[in-house]
Every structure is written in structure tokens, then in C-alpha cells.
């Protein structure tokens, strides 16, 4: 399998639940990202990992907790979310990460999250 | 704060028509990327433009980077239903990649 794979594709959770999103990349890339995509809004960068080290955290609420156990896998742990957190969560990877660089991003197909 | 504004927000056209979508900012970017996102999928990179005034062609798609590297346009000739999707521009500058909100294109057969 090639590319960036995200699971699950769809997730419905209550505000008191704990769930995790999974991302796996088969491209040999060194950087991985979590983005939030809401309708009619720009993609919001949440977290960046480079060589398994978190290099960027854009003021994301603590109810979102990322984990990067190795360069191929990225998780987003979710707990006590709010209805406004409902969105498409996209994982991406790039060959390397350099702040402000134009390294092409390879995206997964996303997890559509609904918080009830 | 760097912002990228994309216009129009939504465009619905008939197959065979030509169209142009725009990506504008008051900020200068070192490069600019265009992505297309089809329903149910993630964005896919179409092109990266780096030099002011640069023009790149990808089959029926023509991308242009403004001379001042603050804006870009995407022109599609003879649009086809397969061109339907969300077109996103993203500018690299400062210390991050900034995305626009996108243009939703629908091409009817």
C-alpha cells in the first residue's frame, strides 16, 4: 500500500468519549502533520512532527493530544471534545520539514469527525 | 498575519467552458502551491510556482504566479466534469504554509 492512510474514515463520538485517529504513511517521509478542515475555512495546521519530534503546536486545545511513535505513524487522541470540533481531520506527510518551506504535502483522505 | 483570499468561493459551469480562479494576498510568498480536493478525498498537489511571473501548464490547467509573488491564478480551458472539486492555494512564507479557504468548482455535463 502506498501513500497516506487514515482510519477511521468516519467517527461519531459523544462529548465524554475518548477516541483516537490513526495515520500511517508509506512514503518514507520525515515529517507528518495534522490539519483541521472546516467548511468555508482555510485548512488549520494543528501539529507538526519532524523525525518523531513535535516541532509546531498551533495553540490547539489540550483535548487534542498528538502522538508520533515512529516516522511512519501519527495519532491524534481525542477526549471531552465539543460540538464545534466536528470537522474533517486530515493527516499529511512531506519529505522533510523546514519552517515556511514549500515541501509538497501528501494528504490522507481524512477522518470525518462528528461530536454529538 | 498572512492571509490568502480565494475567489470565487463557488463556481458552477457547463462542460467545455473556460474559467479562472484567483488567490490573492497582501503578503509576499516565497512560493505558492495549488491543490485539488475531490469529494471524500484529501487534497492532491497540482503544481508549485516559485518565481514571480512564472507560468506553468498542466494539460488544460494554466497556473500563474504574480510578478510581486503576492497573488496567483489558475485558468482551466474547456472544463470537464472530472475537474470538479475544491481548489486550494497555499503560500509558503514567514515560518509556515498558509492555505486559502478554496474555490469549489462544479462542472456540469
Q: Predicted confidence band at B65 (pLDDT cuts at 50, 70, 90)?
A: very high
Count H helices and E strands in chain B, helices first: 0, 11
Q: How confident is the model at residue A66 (pLDDT cuts 50, 70, 90)?
A: very high
pLDDT at B43 over 80: yes
- Is any Cβ of chain B less than 8 angstroms from the Cβ of A39? no
pLDDT single digits (tens) A38-52: 998 999 999 999 988
Q: Kindly tell me if the per-residue pLDDT of A79 is higher than 70.
A: yes
pLDDT at A99 (0 to 100): 67
Instruction: Select the residue from A100, A101, A103 to test the B interface by mutation, using most B Cβ atoms within 10 A.
Output: A100
| Chain A residues close to B95, C-beta within 8 Å | 99-100
Testing the interface with B: which of A33, A34, A43, A88 to mutate, by most B Cβ within 10 A?
A: A43
Q: CA A64 to CA B93: how far, in whole Å?
A: 27
- The per-residue pLDDT for range B16-40, each reduced to its tens digit, is 999 999 999 999 999 999 999 999 9
Burial B22-44 (b: 16+ CB within 10 A, else e): ebbbeeebebbbbbbbeeeebbe
pLDDT class for A59, splitting at 50, 70, 90?
A: confident
CA–CA gap between residue B75 and residue B70 (Å, rounded): 17
A91 vs A52: which has the higher pLDDT: A91
| Closest residue to B101, CB basis, from A42, A102, A108 | A42
Measured distance CA(B45)–CA(B92) in Å, rounded: 14
How much is the pLDDT for B9? 96
Contact at 8 Å (CB) between B2 and B91?
yes
Amino acid at each position: 500500500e502506498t501513500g497516506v492512510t487514515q482510519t477511521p474514515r468516519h467517527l461519531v463520538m459523544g462529548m465524554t468519549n475518548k477516541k483516537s485517529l490513526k495515520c500511517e504513511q508509506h512514503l518514507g517521509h520525515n515529517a507528518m502533520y495534522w490539519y483541521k478542515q472546516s467548511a468555508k475555512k482555510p485548512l488549520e495546521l494543528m501539529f507538526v512532527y519532524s523525525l518523531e519530534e513535535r516541532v509546531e503546536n498551533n495553540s490547539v486545545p489540550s483535548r487534542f493530544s498528538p502522538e508520533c511513535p515512529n516516522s511512519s505513524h501519527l495519532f491524534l487522541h481525542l477526549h471531552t471534545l465539543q460540538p464545534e470540533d466536528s470537522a474533517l481531520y486530515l493527516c499529511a506527510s512531506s519529505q522533510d520539514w523546514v519552517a515556511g518551506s514549500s515541501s509538497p504535502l501528501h494528504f490522507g483522505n481524512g477522518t470525518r469527525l462528528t461530536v454529538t | 498575519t498572512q492571509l490568502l483570499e480565494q475567489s470565487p468561493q463557488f463556481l458552477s459551469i457547463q462542460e467545455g467552458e473556460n474559467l479562472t480562479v484567483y488567490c490573492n494576498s497582501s503578503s509576499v510568498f516565497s512560493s505558492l502551491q495549488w491543490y485539488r480536493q475531490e469529494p471524500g478525498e484529501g487534497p492532491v498537489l497540482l503544481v508549485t510556482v516559485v518565481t514571480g511571473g512564472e507560468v506553468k501548464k498542466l494539460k488544460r490547467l494554466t497556473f500563474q504566479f504574480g510578478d510581486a509573488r503576492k497573488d496567483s491564478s489558475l485558468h482551466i480551458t474547456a472544463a470537464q466534469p472530472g475537474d470538479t472539486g475544491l481548489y486550494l492555494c497555499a503560500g509558503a512564507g514567514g515560518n509556515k504554509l498558509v492555505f486559502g479557504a478554496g474555490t469549489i468548482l462544479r462542472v456540469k455535463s
